[in-house]
Structure 1
Amino acid sequence: MLRRIPRLFFLVLVFLPAALRAQPTPLTAAQYQQDFDYFWTTVNDNYCYFDKKQTDWAQVRTLYGAQLPDIRSRSQFVRLLENALAELYDNHAGLSTNLPDSRRLLPSGTDVCAQFQQGKAIVVAVRAGFGAERVGLRPGMELVAVNDVPIEQALRPLLGRTLKAVDEAAREVALNQALAGTHNQARKLTVRVRGKKLELYPDQPTAQLENIQYNGLLESRQIGTVGYIRINNSLGNNAMIAAFDSALTRLSATTGLVLDLRETPGGGNTVVARALMGRLITQEQPYQRHEQPAEVREFGIRRSWVELVAPRPQPYTRPVVVLVGRWTSSMGEGLTIGLESMRRATIIGTEMARLNGSIESYRLPNSRFGFNIPTERLYRVDGLPREEFVPAIRPDLAAPGDAALVKALEQLQTAKP
């Protein structure tokens, strides 16, 4: 009988709900304190944009450290760190985990972008193919309320509690976090159009942002004599290299190429980016500049370097236009400034996501989930900060259809081969 108990116990475990089988061992108060100290110190020593922020990071330690004695669960600790990291109002800093009522990430988890203009919250971009566009939200509309909460009131809980002053950057991040909403609540956006209020429901009948699907890593076709390749948020997938090579080979006889990066909100890695650029050049060239401020703070010695990209076989040598927008982020932004720095592409579009620098990932020693923060500043080769780049050629967003693509085709028709 005793020899059968282990097998019986195993069978009981097999048929338990997964959530019960996977319950982690509760952490002690000392372990939560150790994780928080690791988190705070890591950000303090490595985050490279404190000079752009109004954040009092020392006060973050005092304010959120005082809440640690009340932490009894993983979810409570996740929320505490979410709130602490939000003090940086940096869309390129985040946790690797979330709660059902966590805010969606910017820009990958939202379908609308807004700015304050003359005191009003104005839509400046709408993500193509998603709920906000489907229900009629358009650039130029004034946002009045989110889930019946007036805009200014909706911002207040999203503004950092340790800010020395609430600057416009903090207000803009809070505005877009309010518009993104949480994972578990459908949004109601109230807008004003020509003096009339409209109520829009971008998450009905389903929350599309929680289940984003694409038709492959990329989509390609020929438009007249011009090739077109759209990257479907796959710059972090190494399988993109073979997919891009195949598509570009099929389009090798075209007179020009449109590379559409407007749906790359998830960033990516330099391997994929350099592979794509390598098919568009014929000689090794620099494409971006790096700087690591942590070494300046620690040793007083500035460290910076220029990264090169090497050509790959069967280069495409015809003119190239790159399309960008508010959902071109991180590695998509790096790819854009790289091609522009190498004078290999004309850039058409709006401001990009303006994500800060290059991120590094860290893991908490006891809780075991990770967090990401920018640790390297990135620049165009000539020294322009990547997040400040704005395309010289901008489409008319009020025009019907895909104004950016139309302008790209016009540009390629007049470009010299």
Structure 2
Amino acid sequence: MRTKTIYCLLLALLPLFSSCIREDDFNNSPQGNFEALWKIIDEQYCFLDYKQIDWNAIHDKYQPLITPGMSNDGLFEILGNMLAELKDGHVNLYSSSNMARYWDWYLDYPRNYNEGIIERNYLGKTYRIAGGAKYTILDDNIGYVSYPDFSSGIGNGNLDEILSYLSVCNGLIIDVRNNGGGNLTFADRFAARFTNEKVLTGYIQHKTGKGHNDFSSPTAIYLEPSNSIRWQKPVAVLTNRHSYSATNDFVNSMSYLPNVTLVGDKTGGGSGLPFSSELPNGWGVRFSASPHLNAEKQHIEFGIDPDKKVDMSKEDEDNGVDTIIEEARKLLKVNP
């Protein structure tokens, strides 16, 4: 599907690997590590201007907090807080004892997911498992597939078995709520089962220089149809704020297919392809380096809106009902 595109992108990113901060660029002191991290983000993070972040002001805010004799834990906390200003779930700082992370991109929103209800009242005890997917046929002849983690592999053989088994159904629900991402190959492989033609789904760029707006021209991304079993009936894709990274990419691809309706909450975003570097003291830092745009060349970093906005009802949850699944079933019955 996108092997050639990703390969070309990785070739384009090679200059970034050679521009990593070296130990002799900054001394291994609290101040040196602070300046090294600030410079990495300043030169290589891809959303500073898009998010309207004044990175110089962030430097002036946190630099006075750095003292020569501060502990590693103290330094780690300050650097982690500085990175949190980016509001990006793809940005992490790693030491041997901790990982700084920003999770408010989903914690500040309704959960819109109850795994216990799904296991008990929808999947039941006899659901099937193929690769990373769980699937069953609901009592109204709607197929239901839960794919909670794109780090869990799924092969073409798995997808053939799933779609063959569900072929008797009138419609299909694909639940990627709480799927925080993983391997883009699995996301593309799954999406390729729902189109009969090559479809433009977006563009990708990469940094070409140290300036905040130094990017390559957008390179088109296409979803190509699988050469095996493809689904031809209506599909509802269920999303919540924890649908992130590779899942955001999957939802974006599915949004351009004619028989697909997105149901639930806005996705969490995370459209930047992550890249890693290292500080003088050996701490690792991961950050978004290459922005992914949709087919209209608009950023999807902040998430993708559903076609049908639905939140979980507390009353439904108390009664063991998943509001979002039920809304999807209604939509699929109206449009068989």
TM-score by length of 1: 0.60
Query: Deviation string for 1:276-303 (max 9, x for gaps)?
Result: 0112222222222223465594896751
Mapped partners of 1:379, 1:58: distance in 2: 26
Q: Deviations over 1:290-334 (max 9, x none)?
A: 234655948967511221122221112222110111211122121
Contact kept? 1:348, 1:392, Cα under 8 Å: yes
Contact 2:176 2:239 in 1 (8 A): yes
Q: Is 2:87–2:105's contact at 8 Å kept on the other side of the alignment?
A: no
Q: CA deviation at 1:367?
A: 3.7
Partners of 1:291 and 1:125 lie apart in 2 by: 32
Aligned-partner residue type, residue 85 of structure 2: E
Deviations 1:72-105 (A, max 9, x none): 43x3443232122122233332224585796773
Of residues 339-348 and 243-252 in structure 1, the stretch that sits farther from structure 2 once superposed is 243-252
Distance change in 2, residues 1:362/1:296 (3 Å): closer
Whole-angstrom CA distance in 2 between matches of 1:106 and 1:221: 33
Structure 2 residue runs of 5 or longer lacking an equivalent are 1-25, 117-128
The equivalent residue for 2:19 is: none
Task: Note if 1:319 corresponds to 2:317.
Answer: no
Report the equivalent of 1:395: 310
Shift in CA distance, 300/92, structure 1 to aligned 2, threshold 3 Å? closer
Query: 1:302, 1:334 → 2: CA distance?
Result: 20
1:230 alignment partner, one of 146, 164, 167: 146
Structure 1 distance, partners of 2:273, 2:68, is 31
Shift of 1:230: 0.6
3-state SS of paired residue (1:410): helix
Query: Quick one: which amino acid aligns to residue 91 of structure 2?
Result: A
The TM-score with structure 2 as length reference comes to: 0.73
Look up the match of 2:18: none
Contact 1:231–1:263 (8 Å) recurs in 2: no
Determine helix, strand or coil for the equivalent of 2:114.
Answer: coil
Question: Any conservation in 1 of the 2:131–2:154 contact (CA below 8 Å)?
Answer: no
User: In the alignment, is the contact (CA less than 8 A) between 2:105 and 2:268 conserved in 1?
Assistant: yes
1:69 pairs with 2:96? no
The percent of aligned pairs where both chains have the same amino acid is: 19
1:124-172, Cα deviation, whole Å (9 max, x unpaired):
4454248xxxxxxxxxxxxxxxxxxxxxxxxxxxxxxxxxxxxxxxxxx
For residue 411 of structure 1, the aligned residue among 324, 331, 334 is 331
The equivalent of 1:177 in structure 2 is none
1:228 CA displacement: 0.6
Partner of 2:165: 250
Greater radius of gyration (CA)? 1
Which residue matches 2:196?
282
Distance 1:244 1:78 in 2: 44
Structure 1 regions of 5+ residues with no counterpart? 1-28, 115-123, 131-213
Number of the residue aligned with 1:271: 185
SS state at 2:268 partner: coil
Q: What is aligned with 1:41? A: 39
Does the C-alpha gap of structure 1 residues 349 and 43 become closer, same or farther in structure 2, counting only changes over 3 Å?
same
Could you say what secondary structure the match of 2:68 adopts? helix
Greater RCO (CA < 8 Å, at least 6 residues apart):
2
Could you tell me how far apart the structure 2 residues matched to 1:78 and 1:243 are?
Answer: 43
DSSP-derived class of the 1:259 partner? strand
Residue 261 of structure 1, CA deviation: 0.8
Task: Report the CA distance shift for 1:282/1:47 in structure 2 as closer, same or farther (over 3 A).
Answer: same
The within-5 A match list for 1:344-359 is 344-355=259-270, 357-359=271-273
Rounded to whole Å, the distance in 2 between the matches of 1:379 and 1:231 is 24
Q: Indicate conservation of the 8 Å contact 2:236/2:332, yes or no.
A: yes
In the alignment, which residue of structure 1 is the partner of 2:284? Answer: 370
Separation in structure 2 between the aligned mates of residue 102 and residue 298 of structure 1, nearest angstrom:
24
Distance 1:101 1:318, change over 3 A: closer
CA spacing shift, 1:381–1:364, aligned 2, 3 Å = same
Matches within 5 A, 1:90-169: 90-97=88-95, 105-106=103-104, 110=107, 113-114=108-109, 124-129=110-115
